[in-house]
Amino acid sequence: MKRLLSYFTGSVSTDSKTFELAYLLFRLHLGISIAYGAGFFKMFTKIDENAAFEWSNVYFGTSQWFIDQVSDIGFTFPNPSFWAYVAIYGEFIGGILIAVGFLTRMAALQLAFQFFIISFVWYDNPEPLYGMYYQQLFFFCYLLITIAGSGRYSIDSWLRKRKIETWICDKV
Protein backbone atom coordinates (compact mmCIF):
# COMPACT_ATOMS: atom_id res chain seq x y z
CA MET A 1 0.00 0.00 0.00
CA LYS A 2 2.81 2.39 0.90
CA ARG A 3 4.61 1.81 -2.42
CA LEU A 4 1.43 2.31 -4.42
CA LEU A 5 0.58 5.55 -2.61
CA SER A 6 4.18 6.68 -3.00
CA TYR A 7 3.99 6.07 -6.74
CA PHE A 8 0.75 8.01 -7.20
CA THR A 9 2.04 10.96 -5.16
CA GLY A 10 5.58 10.73 -6.54
CA SER A 11 7.40 12.72 -9.15
CA VAL A 12 10.51 12.71 -11.25
CA SER A 13 12.77 15.20 -9.51
CA THR A 14 14.73 17.95 -11.21
CA ASP A 15 16.93 20.71 -9.85
CA SER A 16 15.70 23.25 -12.38
CA LYS A 17 13.26 25.78 -10.96
CA THR A 18 12.61 27.04 -14.48
CA PHE A 19 11.57 23.57 -15.64
CA GLU A 20 9.43 23.02 -12.54
CA LEU A 21 7.65 26.35 -13.07
CA ALA A 22 7.05 25.54 -16.75
CA TYR A 23 5.78 22.08 -15.75
CA LEU A 24 3.41 23.68 -13.23
CA LEU A 25 2.02 25.95 -15.96
CA PHE A 26 1.69 22.92 -18.27
CA ARG A 27 -0.23 20.98 -15.59
CA LEU A 28 -2.45 23.96 -14.78
CA HIS A 29 -3.36 24.58 -18.41
CA LEU A 30 -3.92 20.93 -19.25
CA GLY A 31 -5.92 20.23 -16.09
CA ILE A 32 -8.14 23.29 -16.21
CA SER A 33 -8.76 23.03 -19.95
CA ILE A 34 -9.99 19.43 -19.70
CA ALA A 35 -11.98 20.06 -16.51
CA TYR A 36 -13.77 23.08 -17.89
CA GLY A 37 -13.66 22.43 -21.63
CA ALA A 38 -14.79 18.80 -21.58
CA GLY A 39 -15.90 17.63 -18.14
CA PHE A 40 -17.94 20.60 -16.93
CA PHE A 41 -20.25 20.80 -19.94
CA LYS A 42 -20.84 17.04 -19.93
CA MET A 43 -21.62 17.10 -16.21
CA PHE A 44 -24.14 19.92 -16.52
CA THR A 45 -26.36 19.26 -19.54
CA LYS A 46 -28.63 21.85 -21.14
CA ILE A 47 -32.34 21.17 -20.93
CA ASP A 48 -33.01 23.22 -24.07
CA GLU A 49 -30.03 22.76 -26.42
CA ASN A 50 -30.95 25.89 -28.39
CA ALA A 51 -31.03 28.18 -25.34
CA ALA A 52 -28.08 29.85 -23.65
CA PHE A 53 -26.08 28.12 -20.93
CA GLU A 54 -27.72 29.39 -17.74
CA TRP A 55 -28.13 27.56 -14.45
CA SER A 56 -31.91 27.57 -14.92
CA ASN A 57 -31.43 25.70 -18.21
CA VAL A 58 -29.18 22.86 -17.00
CA TYR A 59 -29.46 19.67 -15.02
CA PHE A 60 -26.78 17.62 -13.33
CA GLY A 61 -26.10 14.55 -15.43
CA THR A 62 -24.87 13.48 -18.80
CA SER A 63 -26.81 13.69 -22.00
CA GLN A 64 -28.03 10.67 -23.91
CA TRP A 65 -25.77 11.38 -26.91
CA PHE A 66 -22.71 10.84 -24.74
CA ILE A 67 -24.06 7.64 -23.20
CA ASP A 68 -24.85 6.37 -26.72
CA GLN A 69 -21.32 7.26 -27.86
CA VAL A 70 -19.82 5.29 -24.95
CA SER A 71 -22.09 2.36 -25.79
CA ASP A 72 -21.07 2.45 -29.46
CA ILE A 73 -17.41 2.08 -28.45
CA GLY A 74 -18.34 -1.13 -26.63
CA PHE A 75 -18.32 -0.07 -22.98
CA THR A 76 -21.58 -1.77 -22.08
CA PHE A 77 -20.75 -3.74 -18.91
CA PRO A 78 -22.14 -3.03 -16.37
CA ASN A 79 -23.82 -0.35 -18.50
CA PRO A 80 -22.85 2.60 -20.73
CA SER A 81 -24.11 5.18 -18.22
CA PHE A 82 -21.56 3.97 -15.67
CA TRP A 83 -18.68 4.43 -18.13
CA ALA A 84 -20.03 7.77 -19.31
CA TYR A 85 -19.97 9.05 -15.73
CA VAL A 86 -16.48 7.61 -15.18
CA ALA A 87 -15.31 9.54 -18.25
CA ILE A 88 -17.03 12.75 -17.17
CA TYR A 89 -15.70 12.64 -13.61
CA GLY A 90 -12.30 11.67 -14.96
CA GLU A 91 -12.31 14.77 -17.12
CA PHE A 92 -13.70 17.14 -14.52
CA ILE A 93 -12.27 15.92 -11.22
CA GLY A 94 -9.16 14.43 -12.85
CA GLY A 95 -8.47 17.73 -14.56
CA ILE A 96 -8.71 19.59 -11.26
CA LEU A 97 -6.46 17.01 -9.55
CA ILE A 98 -3.85 17.42 -12.29
CA ALA A 99 -4.03 21.21 -12.09
CA VAL A 100 -3.42 21.31 -8.33
CA GLY A 101 -1.06 18.33 -8.37
CA PHE A 102 -2.93 15.95 -6.06
CA LEU A 103 -2.94 12.23 -6.87
CA THR A 104 -1.61 13.48 -10.17
CA ARG A 105 -0.41 10.21 -11.64
CA MET A 106 -3.67 8.42 -10.88
CA ALA A 107 -5.74 11.16 -12.54
CA ALA A 108 -3.37 11.34 -15.52
CA LEU A 109 -3.40 7.54 -15.94
CA GLN A 110 -7.20 7.51 -16.15
CA LEU A 111 -7.20 10.36 -18.66
CA ALA A 112 -4.38 8.79 -20.70
CA PHE A 113 -6.45 5.60 -20.95
CA GLN A 114 -9.56 7.59 -21.88
CA PHE A 115 -7.77 9.56 -24.60
CA PHE A 116 -6.09 6.40 -25.90
CA ILE A 117 -9.57 4.96 -26.44
CA ILE A 118 -10.77 8.18 -28.08
CA SER A 119 -7.71 8.48 -30.32
CA PHE A 120 -7.00 4.91 -31.35
CA VAL A 121 -10.19 2.86 -30.78
CA TRP A 122 -13.21 5.11 -31.24
CA TYR A 123 -11.99 6.99 -34.29
CA ASP A 124 -12.42 5.03 -37.53
CA ASN A 125 -9.05 5.88 -39.08
CA PRO A 126 -6.55 6.91 -36.35
CA GLU A 127 -3.71 8.26 -38.48
CA PRO A 128 -0.94 9.81 -36.39
CA LEU A 129 -0.21 13.48 -36.90
CA TYR A 130 -3.36 14.39 -38.80
CA GLY A 131 -6.26 12.09 -37.90
CA MET A 132 -7.32 12.71 -34.32
CA TYR A 133 -4.21 14.78 -33.66
CA TYR A 134 -5.87 16.93 -30.99
CA GLN A 135 -7.00 13.89 -28.98
CA GLN A 136 -3.67 12.14 -29.60
CA LEU A 137 -1.88 15.21 -28.25
CA PHE A 138 -3.98 15.00 -25.09
CA PHE A 139 -3.14 11.29 -24.81
CA PHE A 140 0.60 11.96 -24.98
CA CYS A 141 0.33 14.87 -22.52
CA TYR A 142 -1.44 12.67 -19.97
CA LEU A 143 1.03 9.87 -20.61
CA LEU A 144 3.87 12.32 -19.88
CA ILE A 145 2.24 13.40 -16.61
CA THR A 146 1.65 9.74 -15.66
CA ILE A 147 5.37 9.10 -16.07
CA ALA A 148 6.73 12.38 -14.70
CA GLY A 149 4.32 12.80 -11.79
CA SER A 150 3.27 16.02 -10.15
CA GLY A 151 6.44 18.08 -10.08
CA ARG A 152 7.89 20.22 -7.32
CA TYR A 153 5.05 22.75 -7.15
CA SER A 154 2.13 20.50 -6.23
CA ILE A 155 0.09 19.23 -3.32
CA ASP A 156 1.70 15.81 -3.82
CA SER A 157 5.14 17.35 -3.31
CA TRP A 158 3.96 19.21 -0.24
CA LEU A 159 2.57 15.97 1.21
CA ARG A 160 5.79 14.08 0.40
CA LYS A 161 7.86 16.69 2.22
CA ARG A 162 5.72 16.26 5.31
CA LYS A 163 5.75 12.44 5.08
CA ILE A 164 1.94 12.39 5.07
CA GLU A 165 1.92 9.24 2.92
CA THR A 166 3.82 7.33 5.63
CA TRP A 167 1.32 8.46 8.24
CA ILE A 168 -1.65 7.44 6.05
CA CYS A 169 -0.17 4.00 5.33
CA ASP A 170 0.56 3.41 9.01
CA LYS A 171 -3.10 4.08 9.83
CA VAL A 172 -4.46 1.74 7.11
Q: pLDDT tens digits for 65-80?
A: 888 888 887 888 888 8
Residues 6+ apart with CB under 8 A from 27: 98, 99, 101, 104, 145, 150, 151, 154
Q: pLDDT tens digits for 112-129?
A: 999 898 887 776 665 666
Average pLDDT, the chain: 83
Helix (H) or strand (E) holding 58: strand 58-60
**40 exposure class (CB count in 10 Å sphere: 0-12, 13-18, 19+):** middle
| Average of per-residue pLDDT across 34-57 | 82
Q: How far apart are CA 109 and CA 105, in angstroms?
A: 6
Task: Please check the confidence at residue 164 and state whether its pLDDT lies above 80.
Answer: no
Of the two residues 16 and 128, the one the predictor is more confident about is 16
Of the two residues 41 and 98, the one the predictor is more confident about is 98
Taking alpha carbons only, the member of 155, 132, 166, 150 closest to residue 11 is 150
Helix (H) or strand (E) holding 70: helix 64-73
Of the two residues 24 and 170, the one the predictor is more confident about is 24
Task: Please check the confidence at residue 105 and state whether its pLDDT lies above 80.
Answer: yes
Query: Model confidence at 42, in pLDDT bands (50, 70, 90)?
Result: confident
Number of other residues whose CB lies within 10 A of the CB of residue 92: 20
- Residue 72 and residue 117 in contact, taking contact as beta carbons nearer than 8 Å: no
pTM of the predicted model over 0.95: no
Residues 6+ apart with CB under 8 A from 32: 95, 96, 99
Of the two residues 87 and 95, the one the predictor is more confident about is 95
Q: How far apart are CA 146 and CA 157, in angstroms?
A: 15
Taking alpha carbons only, the member of 52, 39, 129, 50 closest to residue 85 is 39
Query: Model confidence at 138, in pLDDT bands (50, 70, 90)?
Result: very high
**Which of helix, strand or coil describes residue 44?**
strand
